[in-house]
């Protein structure tokens, strides 16, 4: 494969590539409420056909999965995993409308595309197709491709496991690649070998036989003798964690493992280049929540600690002004991040047991989805190909044993026996936040790096 | 005054009176966001003029106060206190639109007007004017009237104290009467001699120098090392109360007095007729929050306990579906109900001190308004006139030393030296809740009872 020619072609056509990306991300595809999901799935199927493959939109009980393949008789087959759904934007304040795909000059980064999903991850998904199209115009694709693009990643991939389990042959290949802008805000590529597991759950307290108003809010003067569902939820939540956010659920840390030898080696190396300031910038925070922890110890906390997070909290009157009312229901939307070797089932059971033991049997736990953690070894050829790609473009990657975030990567390891790695050059930021962005120059770099990666992987 | 003729006139014209009430309550006058406030204030001024008085809409820093008088050279002057503002309806589910003033057949009560404010308290306010108009058509009004109708009762009467303090002469009279449907859901008139005090406040936690995201929600994976404002607010709230809702703020009960001798006598009498089932029905609850407390002890809890209530709770993602985010701010809207002899200032200071002492100095306390408790003696002529009115209509009132709710009645006692009593026959329900209603027959009874009361009061 003539990599240089392909890189030139990508550079020459990049403004056109950019327009295709902008057009794609302008269609919202909100995971939470389904807005634009069907239309976007159909577009993704079209992308597979456009590069010469066969695509299919497969319905599920939730949002459809887009599947496809481009089999060219090459020795190696790469399964491209991706997602076409995005987070909602309600309640957020954006500098430009969140689906106008405007190009904004951001002080730190220059020209940036600002749009929901441009970074996480419809931007890199479409850019990947741009690269494949560019390669096929100039040369032969060096590997076979299969595609698995889901529409429920932001809802803990609810219907993906069943699909993967019943389509093992169709999805089989040598490794899985997840197109992603992997450079941080200093322009440093970062490789995350593993991902935490995830449980989405809701805790809800409603008035009932135990007390409290059952079907409607009541005048808060009754608080002198009628129990309050919002208060009960607050106490139930508070019981889950100590005030320093250490989890107080009995047995919660029982299955939490120490880092492996490979982890320890990678952590030690990572600590030498780890930039705390960058993390604080990315998370818009003045300090970490642990006094006096730095370097390797701080990284260990981040990667090897389970977390219980409050995603949302709602009860009673949340509008303007005053309304003196005891709400009949109160809800906390939560996520739990799992580390090796926690399981979804045991963790949910422990939370339920804890609530019952502490007098909160009337607080309901609704599990909305979940999956466990996953880890790819640094020695896998697909990882080595990615590291060499970065090297060839002039970058030495930072290697993180785990990311704090979650992805359903266990499916590929456990069900298909395939390692998975997310990657690609380029930088984006503010996922799940207002003003999600991707650096325009970085997108071009991403497209070129994907070409390099496919070439490297084919030859390893 | 020919009471019988007046009662007949009210009966004969009642359908017309009802239409006037419906027209009035159809205009929303939402205290929280100001919808319809100006228009409604103007209508109330018109009511005063309509019965032959002089009315004025007096601007304040918030919603205007409607003031007026109808001086007829009578020996006694009654100041009519009332409110023309109502609670919001957003987020509530009503059986009919909340501002259509539809008449609905409710199983327990027969024909009822269903509308926000029909009970609390635009219904009785307009019905009072109906009575005055009816009296003046048939006979002479036996007392002089002054009017003080505010538009911020549902926002703890923020601008009323300043107005009262600077208009003492204008408001001076012998007693204050608050038109109100005072029958409960069994048709039993209830007299509340006192009201609790009230503090409206917000507790808010935002990310800042202490940690947490400062200006936007961040991806919840950062929860492993970045602090969470929603978690901090939950812990701050939980620290205010034990899990059985006993207030844990240091010194909170220091100024809480035991009931007086008059209170004890009234409590003992009230306990003989006190109906727990009725209270549970009204508050839509299966049980009280105190195991094993009944009768006098339960009544004592209700009337003589301060309460900290969560009116509303909001943080992070509260829309549909999942959004894994650490919100940069979390807010609890709260009210505190004060009993003798708690003060607003000391109570706020204790909450602030408590938060600081327990490590929550970064949780901000915003006081939105407040006033203290108040109490009228059962021996006041205005109370005796009301009790005799009920008796004359065939009812013996239940007398409660206090109501659990709040009203800025201290102003009349302390600033003007006038006793105040709410009253009138008739029944309504669901204040601050969906399907607020008033029984149609009860409104007619209310209008007649007001005529009786004015007659009694003039002659005592």
| pLDDT for the residue A1 | 67
Domain end point (choices A340, A355, A371)? A371
CA distances in angstroms from A151 to A277, B141, B298, B459, listed in the order given: 34, 74, 55, 78
**d(Cα A219, Cα A325) in Å, to the nearest integer?**
5
**Closest by CA position to B77, among listed B169, B142, B174:** B174
pLDDT in tens, A127-184: 999 999 999 999 999 999 999 999 999 887 889 999 999 999 999 999 999 999 999 9
Q: Which two tokens stand for residue A104?
A: 């904004």
Identify the closest residue of chain A to B288 by CA–CA distance: A226
Out of A155, A224, A307, closest to residue B321 by CB: A155
Instruction: Name chain B contacts of A288, Cβ cutoff 8 Å.
Output: 211, 225-226
Section B336-353 average pLDDT: 96
The answer to whether residues B325 and B431 belong to one domain is: no
What's the mean pLDDT in A375-389? 97
Pairing of strands B77-83, B175-179: parallel
Query: Residue A152: its chain B contacts at CB < 8 A?
Result: none
Backbone torsion region of residue B342, taken as left when φ is above 0, otherwise alpha when ψ lies between -120 and 50, otherwise beta: beta
Question: How many other CB atoms sit within 10 Å of the CB of residue B2?
Answer: 13
- Please report, for the domain that includes residue A381, its CATH number: 3.40.630.10
**Domain co-membership, A387 together with A354:** no
Residue B271 within any structural domain of the chain: no
Bond from prior residue into B121 cis (ω within 30 degrees of 0): yes
B91 contacts A317? CB cut-off 8 A: yes
* ipTM attached to this prediction: 0.84
Q: Is residue B182 part of a domain?
A: yes
Cis peptide before B168 (omega within 30 of 0): no
Tell me the pLDDT of chain B averaged across its residues. Answer: 95
Question: Cβ separation of B311 and A325 shorter than 8 Å?
Answer: yes
Examine the domain organization and report whether B384 and B322 are in the same domain: no
Segment A321-334 mean pLDDT: 93
Q: How does pLDDT run across A277-300, given as a tens digit for each residue?
A: 989 998 999 999 988 999 999 999
Split at pLDDT 50, 70, 90, the class of B243 is confident
Please list the helix, strand and coil fractions of chain A in percent, rounded to the nearest 5, in that order: 35, 25, 40
Predicted local confidence at residue A447, as pLDDT: 98
**Residue that is written with structure tokens 């009471």 in the block:** B3
Spell out which residues of chain A touch residue B158, defining contact as CB-CB under 8 Å.
none
> Taking Cα atoms as reference points, which of A128, A117, A174, A183 lies closest to residue A151?
A117
Domain boundary among A347, A371, A395: A371
Q: Cβ contact (<8 Å) for B285 and A88?
A: no
How many residue pairs bridge chain A and chain B with CB atoms within 8 Å of each other?
355
Res. B244: pLDDT tops 90: no
- Residues spanned by the domain of B339: 197-256+305-371
**Which residues in chain B have their CB less than 8 angstroms from residue A156's CB?**
322
Same domain, A384 and A344: no
The 10s digit of each residue's pLDDT in A205-258 is 999 999 999 999 999 999 999 999 999 999 999 999 987 779 999 999 999 999
Domain count of the fold of chain B: 2
Let me know if residue A405 belongs to a domain.
yes
Indicate whether B127 and B64 sit together in one domain: yes
Task: Tell me the shortest Cα–Cα distance from A423 to chain B, in angstroms.
Answer: 19
Residue B272 has, within 13 A of its CA and on its CB side, a CA count of 8
**Last residue in a domain, options B345, B371, B397:** B371
Both B450 and B397 in a single domain? yes
Strand bridging mode A110-114 / B77-83 = unpaired
CA distance B63 to chain A (A): 13
Contact between A216 and B325 using a beta-carbon 8 Å cutoff: no
Tell me whether residue A300 is in a domain.
no
Any idea what the CATH number is for the domain that residue A222 is in? Answer: 3.30.70.360
A375 band by pLDDT with thresholds 50, 70 and 90:
very high
User: What's the confidence (pLDDT) of residue A4?
Assistant: 96
Cβ neighbour number for residue B412 with a 10 Å cutoff: 24
Give A369's contacts in chain B (Cβ within 8 Å): 322
Instruction: Identify which of B162, B189, B120, B149 has the alpha carbon closest to the alpha carbon of residue B405.
Output: B120
Q: How far lies A397's CA from each of A182, A188, A266, A391, in Å?
A: 9, 7, 12, 8
Q: Do residues A181 and A40 both lie within one domain?
A: yes
* CA of A154 vs chain B CAs: smallest distance (Å): 7
The per-residue pLDDT for B245 is 75
| Contact across the interface for B321 and A88, Cβ inside 8 Å | yes
**Domain presence at residue B289:** no
A293 falls within a domain: no
Do residue B381 and residue B318 come from a single domain? Answer: no
For residue B320, what pLDDT is reported?
A: 80
Spatial distance between the Cα atoms of B72 and B67, rounded to a whole number of angstroms: 17
The encoded tokens of residue A61 equal 């009980």
Please say if the pLDDT value at position B453 is more than 80. Answer: yes
| Mean pLDDT in residue range A410-426 | 96
CB pair distance less than 8 Å for A217 and B92: yes
Candidates A268, A203, A207; CA nearest to A398 is A268
Which of A288, A320, A430 has the CB atom closest to B33's CB atom? A320
- Contact in structure between B194 and B304 (CB atoms under 8 Å): no
Q: Quick check: is B141 in a domain?
A: yes
Closest-CA distance, B87 to chain A, in angstroms, reads 6
**How high is the pLDDT of residue B323?**
85
Averaged pLDDT, B381-406:
96
pLDDT tens digit sequence for B4-58: 999 999 999 999 999 999 999 999 999 999 999 999 999 999 999 999 999 999 9
Q: Is residue A328 located within the same domain as residue A344?
A: yes
Tokens at B257, concatenated: 């007095």
Specify the 3-state DSSP secondary structure of A159.
coil
The answer on B382 and B367 residing in a single domain is no
**DSSP H helical ranges for A51-159:** 122-138
User: Is the per-residue pLDDT at B438 higher than 90?
Assistant: yes
The verdict on A225 and A147 lying in the same domain is no
Are the beta carbons of A64 and A38 closer than 8 angstroms? yes
Please state the rounded mean pLDDT for residues B313-340. 93
Closest residue on chain A to B220 (Cα): A309
Whether A446 shows a pLDDT value over 70: the answer reads yes
Q: What pLDDT, in 10s, does the model give residues B183-200?
A: 998 899 999 999 999 999
The yes-or-no verdict on residue B156 having pLDDT over 90 is no
- Identify the pLDDT of residue B1: 67
Task: Give dist(CA B178, CA B421) in Å, integer.
Answer: 6
The Cα–Cα gap between A386 and A398 comes to 12
Q: Do B286 and A323 touch (CB under 8 A)?
A: no
Closest residue to A313, CB basis, from B218, B220, B313: B313
In this structure, what is the dihedral angle of CA atoms B137, B143, B144, B149, given to the nearest 10 degrees? -80
Give the tens place of pLDDT for each residue, A9-59: 999 999 999 999 999 999 999 999 999 999 999 999 999 999 999 999 999
Same domain, residue pair B316 and B453: no
Distances (CA, A) of B404 to A103, A232, B53, B306: 58, 21, 34, 9
pLDDT at B314 over 70: yes
**Residue A166 placed within a domain:** yes
Mean residue pLDDT across chain A? 95
Residue B209: burial class (beta carbons within 10 Å; 0-12, 13-18, 19+): exposed
Asked if A317 lies within 8 A of B333 by C-beta distance, the reply is yes
Q: Closest to A223 (Cβ–Cβ): which among B213, B287, B309?
A: B309
The pLDDT assigned to A320 comes to: 80
Secondary element (H or E) of residue A182: none
């Amino acid at each position: 494969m003539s990599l240089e020619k392909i890189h030139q072609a990508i550079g020459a056509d990049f403004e056109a590539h950019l327009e295709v990306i902008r057009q794609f991300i302008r269609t919202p595809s909100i995971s939470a409420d389904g807005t634009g999901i069907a239309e976007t799935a159909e577009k993704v199927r079209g992308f597979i056909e456009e590069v010469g493959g066969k695509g299919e939109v497969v319905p599920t009980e939730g949002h459809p999965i887009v599947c496809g393949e481009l089999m060219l008789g090459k020795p190696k087959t790469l399964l491209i995993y991706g997602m076409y759904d995005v987070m909602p934007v309600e309640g957020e304040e954006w500098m430009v409308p969140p689906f106008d795909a405007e190009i904004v000059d951001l002080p730190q980064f220059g020209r940036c595309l600002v749009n929901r999903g441009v970074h996480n991850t419809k931007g890199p998904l479409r850019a990947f197709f741009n690269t494949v199209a560019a390669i096929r115009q100039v040369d032969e694709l060096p590997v076979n491709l299969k595609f698995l693009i889901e529409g429920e990643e932001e809802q803990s991939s609810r219907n993906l496991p069943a699909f993967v389990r019943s389509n093992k042959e169709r999805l089989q290949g040598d490794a899985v690649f997840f197109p992603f802008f992997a450079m941080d805000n200093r322009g440093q590529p970062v490789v995350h070998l593993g991902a935490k597991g995830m449980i989405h759950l809701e805790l809800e307290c409603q008035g009932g036989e135990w007390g409290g108003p059952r079907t409607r809010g009541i005048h808060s003067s009754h608080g002198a003798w009628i129990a309050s569902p919002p208060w009960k939820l607050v106490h139930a939540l508070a019981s889950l964690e100590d005030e320093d956010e250490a989890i107080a659920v009995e047995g919660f840390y029982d299955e939490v493992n120490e880092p492996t030898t490979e982890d320890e080696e990678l952590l030690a190396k990572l600590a030498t280049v780890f930039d705390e300031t960058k993390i604080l910038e990315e998370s818009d925070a003045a300090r970490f929540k642990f006094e006096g922890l730095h370097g390797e110890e701080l990284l260990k906390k981040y990667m090897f600690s389970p977390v219980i997070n409050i995603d949302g909290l709602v009860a009673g009157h949340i509008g303007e002004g005053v309304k003196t009312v005891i709400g009949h229901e109160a809800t906390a939307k939560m996520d739990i991040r799992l580390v090796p070797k926690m399981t979804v089932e045991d963790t949910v059971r422990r939370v339920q047991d804890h609530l019952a033991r502490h007098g909160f049997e009337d607080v309901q736990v609704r599990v909305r989805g979940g999956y466990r953690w996953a880890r790819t070894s640094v020695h896998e050829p697909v990882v080595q190909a990615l590291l060499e790609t970065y090297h060839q473009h002039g970058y030495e990657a930072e290697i993180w044993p785990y990311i704090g975030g979650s992805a359903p990567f266990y499916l590929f390891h456990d069900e298909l026996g395939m390692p998975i790695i997310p990657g690609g050059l380029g930088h984006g930021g503010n996922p799940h936040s207002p003003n999600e962005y991707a650096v325009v120059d970085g997108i071009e770099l991403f497209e070129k790096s994907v070409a390099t990666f496919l070439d490297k992987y084919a030859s390893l």
